[in-house]
Structure 1
Amino acid sequence: MGNRLCALLILPFLLFYAWPVQAAEKEERTWQDEAIYFIMVDRFNNMDPTNDEDVNVNDPKGYFGGDLKGVTAKLDYIKEMGFTAIWLTPIFENMPGGYHGYWIKDFYRVDPHFGTLDDLKTLVKEAHKRDMKVILDFVANHVGYNHPWLHDPAKKDWFHPKKEIFDWSNQRQLENGWVYGLPDLAQENPEVKKYLIDAAKWWIKEADIDGYRLDTVRHVPKSFWQEFAKEVKSVKKDFFLLGEVWSDDPRDLAEYGKYGIDGFVDYPLYGAVKQSLAKRDASLRPLYDVWEYNKTFYDRPYLLGTFLDNHDNVRFTKLAIDNRNNPVSRIKVAMTYLFTAPGIPIMYYGTEIAMNGGEDPDNRRLMDFRADPEIIDYLKKIGPLRQQLPSLRRGDFTLLYEKDGMAVWKRQYEDETTVIAINNTGETQHVHLTNDQLPQNKELRGFLLDDLVRGDDDGYDIILDRETAEVYKLREKTGLNIPFIAAIVIVYALFLLFLYMVKKRAKRMPE
């Protein structure tokens, strides 16, 4: 009897929730939904001592022992911080001393220092199990110093004549000169072009990778990139090409976007990052200005890779220290911006532990997994939040307020609105938003600091402590849900009426 009574009590709820509702369609994941963790393989994690040839952690330009197995072992660690893809420095076999991967010797072999092709395949499979993507660095511009091809008469025409680049604004010199003395490949040679494209396609077929980060894009003819993009994308659907065009002018990036390269590391924004986020009390307006420029000149601004630092620039931590600021506070504020602003956030390994470092190779120190987890814990909030709220990945971007380092932005996607507030100053800040900026009499629910701002007839008042940030979702005010309660009451009343009618009818029936 007790079980029957329990079932009768639960039944109205089942009936209520069984009422037909329109199921929300799950949107197809695109590259603008990703967040990338960038790894210099040799400096990350050593899990296989059998490949530790020439390892010397005391030599800044020597091998430190990191390998592909080490990356695989840390996939969960990376995913927990909200990253959905990894980008690896080149893993192809290098000439002696090429710990970084950019002095390629063999385009078809994994460097023995990093492991084997099977190790790469395992890494990709394990990443895909976790719904994570894998991007490899691909170098089409040059090979390593003293490469064997230089001494092969049959490949005499594979290289441009050895010349330095004197005028970095001269496109001919950029495409034909030897960058830092590295042998410059002649991509206009059909044999060279075929070799490079075939190699790029081979890795996709063999290892099922998801994208390439393209090194030194401006030093390679645009016609090559056009054919390269067409060919590699014919191998795998939605294969991603992320180009490195080192320029502060968004128009330079936009130009290469016409030739099949999907996105670019956002160097124009990097200039604003150094200006606005690496020090306290700096205006955040330059960050938004770069977005406006990018949106104007580039047809896919949401595919630009935003970053605080990388293997070619000094560490963000050093910038903060040089400005006499706490790097932990600076990184937390800066990463909040990257994860909530348009673009694909890219974080260089070690930023999560405030790793210090100056110019190359000092910015490539050995990763320490026993460091203070304060930033890591923060990333575990802000990273997954980006995946939870589509407006942070796909929404428009509007500046609501900025004054002397205190800024508020709004992002809107379909029926979801988020508000991002960043206090980049050394004092508590108060911002009043009007009902012209946000709908009247709703509330802002904070996710990072658990803040709650209730709107009224006059608007919304946001208060943030120094060097903190909050991400709010705009929603209806919470409280008693009268319509829901009324609906439940009606359902129960109808159900009790139904039981009464059944019982009454049963009494009338002859025994």
Structure 2
Amino acid sequence: MPLREPDRLAALELPDGGRAYHPSPVDWRDEVGYSILVDRFAHDRFRRTHGDPAHGETRHGGNLPGVTARLDYLRTLGVTLLQLSPVTLAAPGCYHHYGPLHLTRVDPHLGTLDDLVELVDQAHRRGQRVLLDLVVNHMDRIFEYADGDHFRAEPATVDELAAEVGPAEFADPRRFTRRGVIHDWKHPDQAVRGDFPPGLRRLASEDPRTADLLVTVAKWWIAATDVDGFRIDAIRHLEPAFVTRLTTEVKAYAAGLGKADFLILGEYSATDDQPIADCLRLGIDTVYNYPEYRRQSWALHGQAPTTDLERSLLTARAAWGGTAHDRSVRFIDNHDVYRFLRDGEPTGRLAVATAFLLFSTGLPMLYYGTEQGFRQPTQRLERECSADRASPHNREDMFADGAFVSPSSTGDRFDTGSATFDWTRRLLGVRAEWPALRRGRQAPRYADPDGPGLYAFSRHTDTQEVLVVLNTSGEPRKATVPAGQLLDGRLLTDVLDPAYTVVGGADVHVPGFGARVLVDAP
């Protein structure tokens, strides 16, 4: 039986063992992630909506039993790591749950604690792991300021906190910074101490008592559910010393339960690499690789030379230092940015971008629906802007009776026979077969300097090397590609098309929007 959801933390006794907890993987680089917005993914047993389900900012009824019912779909795809959006109790209008009201209670719109425990257990039985999205920077708009929400130097007087706030220790204004709403994101004090607009109230993680409580909340979720890691939202806005304490104590507690490498994934939507590198020094294991996502987008969409992909890798590696970059969480889309495919683009662009994602260094994170070719109703490639927001149009319903859909997402989209699903499954099968594609060091081999075209890199360990050659152009291309020490002069076979062979170091021919995975194999 799982622990019950506490309404007060003062008397909470956390286990330090005594039951079998699921161990951490040998190497997180072996995993393939899949990010799920629970309200939009799938539903089973019940469906609780709120507002008009055809509107993008309402609750549509996806739930935890729905995710459990689709675990075999994800296993068929080749996914080994599920990243769930937050599951904590939120106001009816907060479908994404990034504005929690109660930090230790599962939202009944999504299910029960038992449903979450069952989901994690069934995932473990299938060789899959689960990351839980933990929001510790803020809670919902649970109070109002007496004299307006402007940012100020000292904590302000606020009205009585909302009755739903929990656990009970958080129904205290001292648990919140109370400095007002961020109006200038570039102002260092506002960025760290301010409330997210329009009114997500920032938790005072700089206060030792608040920090104690938040660490206890995090430990409770591990003990109660057996999850394998946390996604920590809004790392940039948390007190740095608190981040170090949280990661240190949570990882130590998880290790005591048998989870020797409990994963802490930070969310920091930076443009430059240096803030990411600084963030890693706080003790988190890895971060979403936003800087490379933004640098690579133009080249992957055929609007810039593939040398941009090579330069991006080298720039990030130099900034991150050591081997930290090899554990970065990489993506081509997620719930905060545009879906990769834009309206009007050929699906071949997604095919080559998916190969780039799954074969490059780091832990790849797919976004729900991308394996089915979901599209964003935009043609923009630059950073997302308020004039053309990514959400909610990147958060469609995936289930058959969903009403918030686009032409690319209409109907039951759990189609294991679709072309994009089959291509992604094939790529993941290759990644699983060849250890160098998961753990090998990445070395650039060739890039087109003048526009879309070939990009080649190898992934190599001491005993194995795999040469990947991608074509971001819609036309066939060829080039002489250096093969690397282990492959030079050898007869190489394309794992994706065994009829194609080439001598390492010779011209490689790649069809439009094609990918070759060349190995020295009989």
Please state which band the TM-score falls in when normalised by the shorter chain: 0.7 to 0.9
Displacement after TM superposition at 1:282 (Å): 3.3
Distance 1:435 1:240 in 2: 34
In the alignment, the residues of structure 1 paired with residue 28 and residue 427 of structure 2 have an alpha-carbon distance, to the nearest angstrom, of 19
Q: Contact 1:357–1:364 at 8 Å: present in 2 too?
A: no
Structure 1 unmatched runs, 5+:
1-26, 479-511
Q: What secondary structure, in the 3-state scheme, does the structure 1 residue paired with 2:457 have?
A: strand
In the other structure, the counterpart of 1:401 is 446
User: CA offsets, 1:258-289, max 9 Å, x none?
Assistant: 11110001101111232111x23632222222
1:272 corresponding residue in structure 2: 295
Q: C-alpha separation between the residues in 2 aligned to 1:128 and 1:377?
A: 24
Is the counterpart of residue 356 in structure 1 residue 385 in structure 2? no
Does residue 1:311 correspond to 2:335, yes or no? yes
Deviation string, structure 1 residues 444-472 (Cα, Å, up to 9, x no partner)? 1212222432428xx42211111111111
Distance 1:433-1:364 versus aligned 2 partners, 3 A rule: closer
For the 8 Å contact 2:465–2:486, the answer to whether it is kept is no
What displacement does 1:325 show? Answer: 2.4
Once the two structures are superposed, the pairs formed by residues 120-131 of structure 1 within 5 Å of their partners are 120-131=116-127
Whether the 8 Å CA contact 1:453–1:460 is kept in 2: the answer is: no
Which residue pairs with 1:151 in the alignment? 160
TM-score (norm 2): 0.80
1:251 alignment partner in structure 2: 274
User: Which residue does the alignment assign to 2:54?
Assistant: 58
Question: Residue 105 of structure 1 corresponds to which residue in structure 2?
Answer: 101
Moved more, 194-203 or 55-64: 55-64
Could you tell me the percent identity over the aligned residues?
A: 32
Contact 2:464 2:486 (C-alpha < 8 Å) held by counterparts: no
Change (3 A) 1:46 1:55: farther
Paired letter, 1:116: T
- For 1:366, the aligned partner's letter is D
Q: Distance in 2 between matches of 1:434 and 1:146?
A: 60
Higher helix share: 1
1:37, 1:147 → 2: CA distance?
35
User: What letter matches 1:195 in structure 2?
Assistant: L
| Separation in 2, partners of 1:68, 1:436 | 46
> 1:336: Cα distance to partner?
0.2
Query: 2:65 & 2:229 partners in 1: Cα distance?
Result: 20
The structure with higher relative contact order (CA 8 Å, sep 6+) is 2
After TM superposition, the structure 1 stretch with the greater mean CA deviation from structure 2, 163-172 or 40-49, is: 163-172
Task: Map Cα deviations across residues 31-78 of structure 1 (whole Å, 9 max, x no partner).
Answer: 1221100000000001122x5142632121111110111111111111
Q: Determine the structure 2 residue equivalent to 1:219.
A: 237
State the shift of 1:332 in Å: 1.0
Which amino acid in the other structure matches residue 151 of structure 1? E
SS of corresponding position for 2:274: helix
Residue pair 1:282, 1:424 contacting (<8 A) in 2 also = no
Partner amino acid, structure 1, of 2:392? P
| TM-score, normalised with respect to structure 1 | 0.82
Give the aligned partner of residue 173 of structure 1: 190
CA distance in 1, matches of 2:111, 2:179: 33
Per the alignment, residue 235 of structure 1 pairs with: 253
Unaligned 5+ residue runs, structure 2? 1-23, 145-157, 162-169, 255-259, 378-389, 399-411
User: Cα gap change, 1:59/1:437 in structure 2, threshold over 3 Å: closer, same or farther?
Assistant: same
Match of 1:431 among 470, 479, 484: 479
**SS of 2:180's equivalent?**
coil
Q: Is residue 40 of structure 2 the alignment partner of residue 39 of structure 1?
A: no
Shift of 1:435: 7.1
Deviations 1:163-199 (A, max 9, x none): 2323323332111111112111111122211121111
Aligned pair count reads 441
Partner letter of residue 398 of structure 1? A
**Corresponding residue number in structure 2 for 1:81:** 77
- Match of residue 68, structure 2, among 72, 87, 98: 72
Q: Secondary structure at the match of 1:209?
A: coil
The SS at the match of 1:397 is strand
Cα distance in 1 between the residues matched to 2:484 and 2:464 = 17
Q: Establish whether residue 380 from structure 1 lines up as the match of residue 425 from structure 2.
A: yes
Note the C-alpha offset of 1:123. Answer: 0.6
State the alpha-carbon separation in 1 of the partners of residues 81 and 466 from structure 2: 24
Aligned to 1:29: 26
Shift in CA distance, 97/150, structure 1 to aligned 2, threshold 3 Å: farther
Instruction: Please state how far the C-alpha of 1:147 moved relative to its aligned partner.
Output: 5.7
CA separation of 1:28/1:146 partners in 2, compared to 1, >3 Å: closer, same or farther?
A: closer
Answer yes or no: is the 8 Å Cα contact 1:444–1:453 preserved in 2. yes
Q: Please name the residue that 2:345 is paired with.
A: 325
Match of 2:501 in 1: 453
**Is the Cα–Cα contact under 8 Å of residues 310 and 444 in structure 2 kept in the other structure?**
yes
Query: Aligned match of 2:307 in 259, 278, 285?
Result: 285
| Structure 2 Cα separation of the partners of residues 59 and 267 of structure 1 | 29
Aligned Cα RMSD in Å?
A: 2.2
1:117 and 1:178 map into 2 onto residues whose CA distance is 29
* 2-structure distance, mates of 1:435, 1:40: 41
CA distance in 1, matches of 2:69, 2:295: 35
Residue 415 of structure 1: how far off its partner (Å): 1.0
Q: In the TM superposition, what is the alpha-carbon distance from 1:473 to its structure 2 partner? A: 1.2
C-alpha distance after superposition, 1:180-236 (max 9, x if no partner):
121111111222111211111001001100011111110011100011001111222
